[in-house]
Amino acid sequence: MQTQRVIRQVVSNPLIAVCQLTNTHDKNRNIEKAHELISKAKDHGCKMIFFPECADFIGRSKDEALKLAEPINGETMKTFRQLAENYKMWISVGGFHNKKSEDILPANTHVIIDDNGQIVIQYDKLHQFNIDTPKVRLLEREFSSAGNQLHPPVETPVGKIGLNICYDVRFPELSYFHRQAGADILAFPAAFTVPTGMAHWEVLLRARAIETQCYVVASAQYGKHTDTRSSYGHAMIVDPYGKVVAQCSDREGLCYAEIDLNYIKEVRQGLNMIGDRRGDLYTTYYKQKFPTEGVDATFADKTIPASSVFYRSRLSFAFVNLHPLVPGHVLVSPNRVVQSIKDLTPAENADLFNTVQVVSNVVLEHYKAESSNIAIQNGADAGQTVPHVHVHIIPRKHKDFGDDTDNMYKELAEHETKRPQQTPEQMAEETAIYRKLLYP
């Protein structure tokens, strides 16, 4: 009898719950409904629950929306954090009206709260929906401030989640950004309009899942919120092969699915789209800052200590100079050890020079310079001493090298070892200054 060889299965694939809500201007109603759904998700053993955009409220007018908006430490977020802690459940608050100050419109912020009630990430919506047709008019910029920063995915007990909001789903580059940065799941909390929802919602979510080979989790507002605003609903979960594995009925409620990280692996092994991409012909540059603290850099066969590295992008790093020609003379290199610019990939090239721009802007601003020399000694015959591509950024001021500005080159032509050398302390201090400017 088979039942006798019972090998108790370990449930390795956590269940998640995705919400569909018909939120209104009544914040109490909304949070009570949220509470009810969290409780239900808990009963089904879910590890994480996903609320849609406008998880706090949907105002009946711009004025009401502005009036109802709260800061991140307001009552509404406190309640969500409390619920997360009480129910020991991770919560994605897909979007709330984040009042950062009186002076600017609230951001549309997607917040993830852990099961201790701590906020682990805040993402301000990047792409604003501005539709203005006979059928629908909704200009998000009129009542919300756009975000300005790409955030890499965040670790949770159900996998690494890449955060998005609603309209972001139309921009495949953002999803690919998350994929490249290690996402298992893309979250798209939304409040899609009915006309665009029925034309595009499911197709775009599935396409994002197929292209990134991630789970896509799309919580949604549904139905009539105010006299003039309705949402499409169709909250759903899509698996990494692009299949809708759960979907809410046409009303408030939950749908459920397992998240299986092994399945992601299997799908990616089956079809290696990252590998098949033609990075030699096109590449997407993402303006992105990485932490520098405690991370040494490799510079040819040398190590640049973390204390000298003041900036990191995805593929490059910037560091201070042992022998600066002038104050602010810094260097930018690709992460990968590459001797010649001819060996840089298009992605590295794009990243390197966009990083040069970012660094240059800050250094010049700091030294109140308006000019700079950007120089690469590409190859031994061009004076390259360290066999790892590095771009010199040399701030310039009026007559800093005498009457002829090009005198600088004469100085540069002197071998750098003849120039005075900075102490480690000086370099660490310089690093600290730039970091502060670059990571405000």
Report 386-415 residues binding a copy of itself (CB under 8 A): 394, 396-400, 404-410, 412-415
Choosing from 180, 298, 335, 349, the residue that interacts with a copy of itself (CB under 8 A) is 349
Q: Does 353 sit near a copy of itself (CB under 8 A)?
A: yes
CA angle, 136 then 137 then 142, to 5°:
155
Q: Does 382 sit near a copy of itself (CB under 8 A)?
A: yes
The least CB distance from residue 74 to a copy of itself, in Å, is 12
**Closer residue to a copy of itself, CB minimum distance, 268 or 305:** 268
In the residue annotation, 110 being an active-site residue is answered as no
Write the binding mask 37 to 66 for a copy of itself: x where contact by CB under 8 A, - elsewhere. Answer: --xx--xxx---------------------
**Closer residue to a copy of itself, CB minimum distance, 60 or 397:** 397
As a whole number of angstroms, the distance between CA 119 and CA 395 comes to 41
- The full length of the chain comes to 440
Q: Does 421 sit near a copy of itself (CB under 8 A)?
A: no
Write out the two tokens for 111: 């917040």
Find, among 302, 286, 305, the residue nearest to 294 by Cα: 305
**Closer residue to a copy of itself, CB minimum distance, 30 or 308:** 30
Do the beta carbons of residue 236 and residue 18 sit within 8 Å?
A: yes
Report 149-178 residues binding a copy of itself (CB under 8 A): 149-150, 167, 170-174, 176-177
CB-based contacts of 146, cutoff 8 Å, min separation 6:
107, 124, 125, 126, 127, 128
Q: Does 310 sit near a copy of itself (CB under 8 A)?
A: no
Computed from CA positions of residues 87, 92, 94, 98, in that sequence, does the dihedral angle turn out positive or negative? Answer: positive
Binding residues for substrate: 321, 377, 383-386, 392
Choosing from 106, 253, 324, 334, the residue that interacts with a copy of itself (CB under 8 A) is 253
Do the beta carbons of residue 137 and residue 110 sit within 8 Å?
A: no
The least CB distance from residue 163 to a copy of itself, in Å, is 14
Q: Which stretch binds a copy of itself (CB under 8 A): 54-62, 89-97, 142-150, 324-332?
A: 142-150
Computed from CA positions of residues 35, 36, 37, 39, in that sequence, does the dihedral angle turn out positive or negative? Answer: positive
CB atoms inside a 10 Å sphere around CB 98: 25
Do the beta carbons of residue 298 and residue 304 sit within 8 Å?
A: yes
- Set 44, 390, 398, 415: catalytic member: 390
Binding residues: 321, 377, 383-386, 392
Choosing from 73, 102, 227, 281, the residue that interacts with a copy of itself (CB under 8 A) is 281
The least CB distance from residue 42 to a copy of itself, in Å, is 9
Which secondary structure element, helix H or strand E, spans residue 273, and what is its range? helix 273-276
Q: Does 384 sit near a copy of itself (CB under 8 A)?
A: yes
Residue with tokens 């932490």: 291
Residue 228 — left, alpha, or beta (φ > 0 → left; ψ -120 to 50 → alpha)?
Answer: alpha
**Closer residue to a copy of itself, CB minimum distance, 217 or 427:** 217
**Partners of residue 393 on adjacent β-strands:** 330, 374
Q: Does 210 sit near a copy of itself (CB under 8 A)?
A: yes
Choosing from 62, 67, 88, 243, the residue that interacts with a copy of itself (CB under 8 A) is 243
Choosing from 116, 228, 303, 361, the residue that interacts with a copy of itself (CB under 8 A) is 361
Choosing from 1, 227, 403, 440, the residue that interacts with a copy of itself (CB under 8 A) is 1
Q: Does 113 sit near a copy of itself (CB under 8 A)?
A: no
Q: Which stretch binds a copy of itself (CB under 8 A): 47-55, 95-103, 238-246, 290-298?
A: 238-246
Do the beta carbons of residue 187 and residue 165 sit within 8 Å?
A: no
Q: Does 128 sit near a copy of itself (CB under 8 A)?
A: yes
Max Cα–Cα distance, the chain, nearest Å:
97
Q: Which stretch binds a copy of itself (CB under 8 A): 55-63, 278-286, 291-299, 428-436?
A: 278-286
DSSP 3-state of 235:
coil
For the chain, the C-alpha Rg in angstroms (whole number) is: 26
Do the beta carbons of residue 210 and residue 194 sit within 8 Å?
A: no
Q: If you write DSSP's letter for every residue of 110-135 in order, what string do you get?
A: EEEE-TTS-EEEEEE--SPPEEESSS
CA angle, 77 then 260 then 46, to 5°:
40
Choosing from 160, 211, 335, 428, the residue that interacts with a copy of itself (CB under 8 A) is 211
The least CB distance from residue 189 to a copy of itself, in Å, is 18
Choosing from 126, 161, 315, 326, the residue that interacts with a copy of itself (CB under 8 A) is 126
* Residues carrying an active site annotation: 390
